Structure 1
Amino acid sequence: MKRTVRNAGFVMLGVLIVMMSTSGALALEVAGEELGINLNFTYASKYMWHGYDIFGGNGAFQPSINFDYMGFIAGIWASYPDTSGSEDLSEIDLYIGYGRTFFEEESYAVDATILYTYFTFPKVSHKANLDAQEVDFIISMPNLIPLGPASLVPSYALGYLWDGVQGETPHFDGFYHIFGLSYDIPVPALIPEQEEQAISLKWDIAYNDGPFNTDSDWSYSTIGVSTTFEWNNVYLTPSLNYQFSFNDVVNDEDDFYATISFGYNF
């Protein structure tokens, strides 16, 4: 597994490095509309998902590819542990969704997205299949609260989890709710070719309502800071995050973790 993960990582990094040498955008069009493609490779010091520390404090390699066309999105996302012992939880997810902005120029503008994800765990035996499905409805209001040079953006996500089509181990279906705030502080760009840059601050708090047999209760809250460096359609995004855990069934300790993402936008 280690060799496979490393090889996959080197392939992704090789592709991205080749892309760095390409000047200008590689615009792709389908029926006169632009097709957006994003290649991304992330390393996370911990893989945190709905409050759970999936690999027990170990890091994760997380490659992905995303397609965006006229508001529709689809892609593949994967997560592999960086150490032995958690290979059974190696994950490959498929997702599809649609996003749209309503009343774009108004103070009450709304960004809305609906997303369906199918979670697969190829290393798990069929009888212990952990496949799961999730539907998320996410809204945010980017213009609602002007604050200094930017806006404080409130958001809300409603999600529902249930078993996959091959699942034989109950996932204890249930809802979750995530309330969040984000704020981008404009700063001078550190790379000459980059037009603008911001320090992005985020906060969220989650209420679990039944998934994985958890009590209906507030389960965790996260604070985070990140920024993105861009050059020639290539980007690098480091982030620092801290999770406060409220429910011992979900996570019995608070967690600090960092991520770094390296990608290319066609």
Structure 2
Amino acid sequence: MKKQVILLAAVVLFCAAGLVQAQEDPLGVTADATWVSKYLWYGFDLLDDKGAFQPSVDVDLFGSGFSLNVWSSYPTAVGDMNKGGGAAGTSRVDATEFDYTLAYSTVICEGEPHATYITAQGIYYDFIDIPSQAADAEEIGVQLTWPNVSPTGDVTPGYYISRIWPAKSGKPRAGKDDLIPGDYAGWIHVFSLGYDLTVPGLLPETPEQTFNLSVATVYNDGFAGGTVDHDWSHAVFGASTDFELAENFNVTPGIYYQSSWDDTVNSEDELWISLGASYKF
């Protein structure tokens, strides 16, 4: 079944890419390849302090508001992850992940100070080397942002709410093969602020450079762990910027710090970096 899902997604993306030149409507395809020194997901350190290579393809369906995305994560290290108490956990070899996302974006009160940008999405998490009942999950979420609420226009507050549940009926097995043991159905709330800091250009051909500064605080309401406390779990601080090295080709470095508040999600504070390259067809 997993191979069929992957094949279907690949066919859809291949066909969509082939339509880029055949359609006059603005269908957009963006390919991205990102390396992260650690893989943090909603506060969880999924690879136990090791990095990952995370390529993706995003398809904007003719400006309709709908988009498709296939995202993947390949661990860059081998070995078992620590489960605590010296016990070995899931092998990183088994932590290869494919995520399939269907999203719809729109805006209400466009142009007004209270304009609200809305994105609703559904995600299927597919850990392709682990039985589906042990790790696969589905998530639905809604992201709200208010980019015009700041008088200066450079501060954007946001709120994301989502729910996750096991993709297969019944509880995942709380065993060695489980990335997140226990019944991980639950909700999560993410409150964020983004700030665009503009400085003089760092490259000769760039008149100015914009750094995207962000902070997010997260309330975990039983999301992704049967043993997770219902509490404020962590905050993440980030900084990133884009370098346009050629037309439609960007390189994006980033640095992030996580202050962990709840040991049931993560008992350690985390610092990691990322380096991505993207091309828009």
**TM > 0.5:** yes
2:105 to 73, 82, 99: 99
Q: Which residue among 136, 140, 160 is the counterpart of 1:135?
A: 140
SS at the partner of 2:26? strand
Matches within 5 A, 1:91-170: 91-125=97-131, 129-147=134-152, 150-165=153-168, 169=172, 170=182
Residues 30 and 110 (structure 1 numbering): CA distance in 2 closer, same or farther, change over 3 Å?
A: farther
Aligned to 2:241: 227
In structure 1, how many angstroms separate the alpha carbons of the residues matched to 2:125 and 2:169? 11
Unmatched tracts of structure 1, length 5 or more: 1-25
Is the 8 Å Cα contact of residues 161 and 175 (structure 1) preserved in structure 2? yes
One-letter code aligned to 1:259: S
* Contact residue 130 and residue 167 of structure 1 kept, 8 A: no
Instruction: Report the CA distance between 1:125 and its aligned residue.
Output: 3.4
Superposed CA offset, 1:83-119 (max 9, x none): 1121111101111010012222111111100010000
TM-score by length of 2: 0.80
Q: Deviations over 1:178-215 (max 9, x none)?
A: 00000101233334555763111000000000121211
Indicate the SS of the match to 2:262. coil
Change (3 A) 1:27 1:201: farther
Answer whether contact 1:129 1:167 (CA < 8 A) is retained.
no
* Residue 33 (structure 1) shift: 2.1
Query: What is the root-mean-square deviation in Å for CA atoms of aligned residues?
Result: 2.0
Q: Which moved more, 1:166-175 or 1:113-122?
A: 166-175
SS of the aligned residue for 2:151 comes to strand
Q: Deviations over 1:4-62 (max 9, x none)?
A: xxxxxxxxxxxxxxxxxxxxxx9936764200101000000000001001000000000
Q: Give the 3-state SS of the residue equivalent to 2:94 in structure 1.
A: helix
Aligned residue pairs, count: 238
Deviation at 1:71, TM superposition (A): 1.2
Partner residue of 1:184 out of 192, 196, 215: 196
Partner-residue secondary structure (3-state), 1:226: strand
Aligned twin of 1:57:
49
Helix, strand or coil at the partner of 1:105: coil
Percent sequence identity over aligned pairs: 35
Question: What is the TM-score normalised by the length of structure 1?
Answer: 0.84
- Greater relative CO (CA pairs within 8 A, separation 6+): 1
1:123-154 per-residue CA deviation (whole Å, 9 max, x = no partner) reads 1135x62000001100000010123xx42111
Tell me which moved more, 49-58 or 162-171: 162-171
Matched position secondary structure for 1:87: helix
Which of residues 191, 198, 203 in structure 1 aligns to 2:210? 198
